[in-house]
């Protein structure tokens, strides 16, 4: 199945390949040549500088779970989408520049900038919206860029929208179930996304989410591993704290995409060692949640990962950025996979009935794992059902 998918992708994208040259891709906007190996020192220095200037929002350790964190994110996304539908481009520019400069986060550590782009990614209804609604949404983003020719935000948002619209055409099925027309539309829209990123790369202003979208395109098109690693290294050199790029690169390294068994786990280990401290532990936890999610791949069960480091990483989440319900639900899921009964029981106790649908997919899965948390040696647990 994987061979069939790769063959179809290669055949398709040989025609409509990404036109940003390798030199452009592997050169950071600030001309930095630093790799991940140089990040730890920069990360600490930047954090000290930003803390002094009030840019980093470090939250005190909390014992109470915030069940409103995800609601706040959804409300924020809705506000950004409403601004776009009103063609209030000045307000969008101001907000994006503010959250990009301040590096502000929601509880749990999610960057506000990341959620900003989610808010303008697609029309109301997302992938359920009609093509007509998507076309109107794309037109609004184009108008934004036309009226704001120096806006990197408008162009990155357009690239993100084209990428998502492409996946709408592809559908959520496995590769051998995707129609020829679905592949064609995906390829065409990925090319439009890459064109938008290429235009953004020529602007003076830069944005860390530019790299995130490029990593999404690279994963979907099946780029060479060395090229994708170069993108990640430059993303980290440009903005080491934008952890969403780490997560997307870890996704690329999964065997279902372009990685081999153990590569993603090795990347988590490398990141933990090179970044170090609480931030390194935080990143290790975040990568673990990508590699072990209740989204179709069961049987990994933390193989190749350190459960004590994952626990340390979740503690860092709470200490640095506060507790969100989603991150707590993810930790509970991992605790069950690890067979850590005390940690799992404690996490489920804190969750109560506030199960997170993104983490568990269905309430049935949540209830099954909640029961399994009370049993020792639960690492073989699997949800009853899951989305592809």
Tens of pLDDT, residues 56-81: 333 434 456 667 788 999 999 999 99
Whether the per-residue pLDDT at 385 is higher than 60: the answer is no
| 296 band by pLDDT with thresholds 50, 70 and 90 | low
Which residues 6+ apart lie within 8 Å of 335 measured at CB?
A: 343, 344, 347, 373
Structural domain of 105 = 1-16+69-221
Q: Is the residue at 344 inside a domain?
A: yes
The reply to whether 168 and 278 lie within a common domain is no
The answer to whether residue 22 is domain-embedded is: no
pLDDT at 86 over 90: yes
> Looking at the structure, do residues 197 and 268 belong to the same domain, yes or no?
no
- Domain of 201, CATH number, reads 1.25.40
**Percent of the chain at pLDDT above 90?**
70
> What is the per-residue pLDDT for 64?
60
- The backbone torsions φ and ψ at residue 55, rounded to the nearest 5 degrees and listed phi first, read -85, -35
Clarify whether residues 8 and 135 are in a common domain.
yes
CA distance linking residue 259 with residue 315, whole number of Å: 29
Residues 268 and 305: beta-carbon distance below 8 Å:
yes
The per-residue pLDDT for 101 is: 98
Distance CA 338, CA 16 (A): 43
CB of 337 within 8 A of CB of 292?
Answer: yes
Query: Residue 267: how many CA atoms within 13 Å on its side-chain side?
Result: 27
In this structure, the answer to whether residues 210 and 321 fall within a common structural domain is no
pLDDT of residue 172: 75
Last residue of a domain, one of 221, 238, 273: 221
pLDDT, tens digit, for every residue of 332-375? 999 999 999 999 999 999 999 999 999 999 999 999 999 999 87
* DSSP bridge partners of 324: 66
Residue 239 placed within a domain? no
Inside any domain, residue 61:
no
Q: Within a domain: residue 325? A: yes
Q: What is the mean pLDDT of the chain?
A: 84
Q: Is residue 54 part of a domain?
A: no
If we measure between CA atoms, which residue out of 77, 138, 65 comes closest to residue 107?
A: 65
Q: pLDDT class for 300, splitting at 50, 70, 90?
A: low
**What's the pLDDT score for residue 375?**
77
Write down the pLDDT at residue 176: 79
Query: Do residues 7 and 140 share a domain?
Result: yes
Burial 149-170 (b: 16+ CB within 10 A, else e): eebbbbbbbbbbbbbbbbbbbb
pLDDT in tens, 118-157: 999 999 988 889 999 999 999 999 999 999 999 999 999 9
Return the ∠ at Cα 194 (arms to 165 and 171), rounded to 5°. Answer: 25
What is residue 324's DSSP assignment? B
Number of structural domains found in the chain: 2
In this structure, are 11 and 140 located in the same domain? Answer: yes
Q: What is the pLDDT, as a whole number, of residue 37?
A: 47
If asked whether residues 293 and 366 sit together in one domain, one would say yes
Across residues 203-229, what is the average pLDDT?
97
Q: What average pLDDT does range 32-57 have in this prediction?
A: 46
Residues 287 and 155 in one domain: no
Residue range 377-381: mean pLDDT, rounded? 49
Residue 192 sits in the same domain as residue 310: no
> 23 pLDDT exceeds 80?
no
My answer on whether 209 and 355 are in the same domain is no
Torsion angles phi and psi, residue 187, rounded to 5: -60, -45
With respect to residue 204, please indicate whether it lies within any of the assigned structural domains.
yes
User: Given a cut of 80, is residue 34 above it in pLDDT?
Assistant: no
Which segment of 173-182, 263-272, 295-304 scores lowest on mean pLDDT?
Answer: 295-304
Q: pTM to 2 decimals?
A: 0.83
Question: What per-residue confidence (pLDDT) applies to 54?
Answer: 40
pLDDT digits (tens, 9 = 90+) for 171-206: 877 777 889 999 999 999 999 999 999 999 999 999
Regarding whether 258 and 216 lie in a shared domain, the answer is no
Q: What is the pLDDT of residue 9?
A: 40
Asked if residue 384 is part of any domain, the answer here is yes
At residue 164, the pLDDT reads 95
- Of 206, 221, 236, which marks where a domain is finished? 221
Residues 341 and 300 both lie in one domain: yes
């Amino acid at each position: 199945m994987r061979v069939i998918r790769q063959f179809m992708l290669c055949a398709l994208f040989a025609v409509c390949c990404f036109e940003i040259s390798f030199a452009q891709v592997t050169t950071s906007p600030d001309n930095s040549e630093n790799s991940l190996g140089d990040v730890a020192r920069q990360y600490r220095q930047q954090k000290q500088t930003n803390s002094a200037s009030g840019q980093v929002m470090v939250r005190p350790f909390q014992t109470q779970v915030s069940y409103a964190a995800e609601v706040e994110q959804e409300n924020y996304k809705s506000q950004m989408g409403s601004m776009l539908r009103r063609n209030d481009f000045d307000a969008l520019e101001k907000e994006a520049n503010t959250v990009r400069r301040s590096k502000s986060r929601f509880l749990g550590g999610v960057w506000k900038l990341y959620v900003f782009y989610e808010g303008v990614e697609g029309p109301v209804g997302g992938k359920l919206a009609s093509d007509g609604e998507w076309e109107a949404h794309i037109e609004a983003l184009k108008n934004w860029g036309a009226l704001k020719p120096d806006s990197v935000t408008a162009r990155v948002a357009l690239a993100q929208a084209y990428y998502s619209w492409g996946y709408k055409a592809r559908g959520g099925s496995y590769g051998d179930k995707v129609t020829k027309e679905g592949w064609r539309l995906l390829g065409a829209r990925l090319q439009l996304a890459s064109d938008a990123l290429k235009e953004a790369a020529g602007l003076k202003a830069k944005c860390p989410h530019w790299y995130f979208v490029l990593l999404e395109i690279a994963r979907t098109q099946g780029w060479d591993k060395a090229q994708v690693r170069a993108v990640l290294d430059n993303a980290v050199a440009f903005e080491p704290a934008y952890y969403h790029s780490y997560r997307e690169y870890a996704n690329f390294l999964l065997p279902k995409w372009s990685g081999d068994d153990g590569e993603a786990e090795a990347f988590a280990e490398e990141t933990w060692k090179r970044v170090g401290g609480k931030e390194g532990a935080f990143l290790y936890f975040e990568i673990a949640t990508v590699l072990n999610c209740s989204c179709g791949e069961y049987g990994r069960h933390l193989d190749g990962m350190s459960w004590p480091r994952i626990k340390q990483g979740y503690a860092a989440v709470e200490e640095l950025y506060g507790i969100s319900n989603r991150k707590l639900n993810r930790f509970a899921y991992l605790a069950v996979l690890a067979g850590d009964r005390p940690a799992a029981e404690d996490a489920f106790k804190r969750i109560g009935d506030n199960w997170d649908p993104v983490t568990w997919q269905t309430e049935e899965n949540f209830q099954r794992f909640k029961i399994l948390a009370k049993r020792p040696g639960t690492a073989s647990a699997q949800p009853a059902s899951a989305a592809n």
